[in-house]
Structure 1
């Protein structure tokens, strides 16, 4: 799992976002979101288009996750 995906995963978990709702609103399959953001054993990174869609859903600038510090 990439560092950026790990940061997105931590952010989603801390904020308690619903993956089903995220899937419906972004068009990213639930299984892809779950594998990338919740299943630590799969270590699947978000694809570029998925990452942008998730950032839009979260209303967070994608560059925030690229910075070195932890996203709060």
Structure 2
């Protein structure tokens, strides 16, 4: 799952108001909606937008990224 999809899911689960997020982050509502709420998700978040949204949510971008599985020191998973 992409970072944008994970942020979108978190926003839905937490019932975050996109209008309030827009006002607080300075990112236009249309841009937030197109990136996170529109089912077609035809617009990707810029790095700066993702960081601003994560700051607003009290999270880091790292909280939403895929974590690779760690392998054992001898190479076994």
Classify the TM-score, shorter chain.
0.7 to 0.9
Number of equivalent positions? 68
Q: How does 1:1-72 map to 2 (within 5 A)?
A: 3-68=2-67
CA separation of 1:42 and 1:64: change in aligned 2, threshold 3 A: closer
Q: Let me know the Cα RMSD of the aligned residues.
A: 1.7
Answer with 1 or 2: which has the greater Rg. Answer: 2
- Normalised by the size of structure 1, how large is the TM-score? 0.85
**What TM-score do you get using the length of structure 2 for normalisation?**
0.80
Structure 1 spans left out of the alignment, 5+ residues: none
Q: How far apart are residue 42 of structure 1 and its match? A: 3.7
Gaps of 5+ in 2: 68-77
Greater percentage in helix: 1
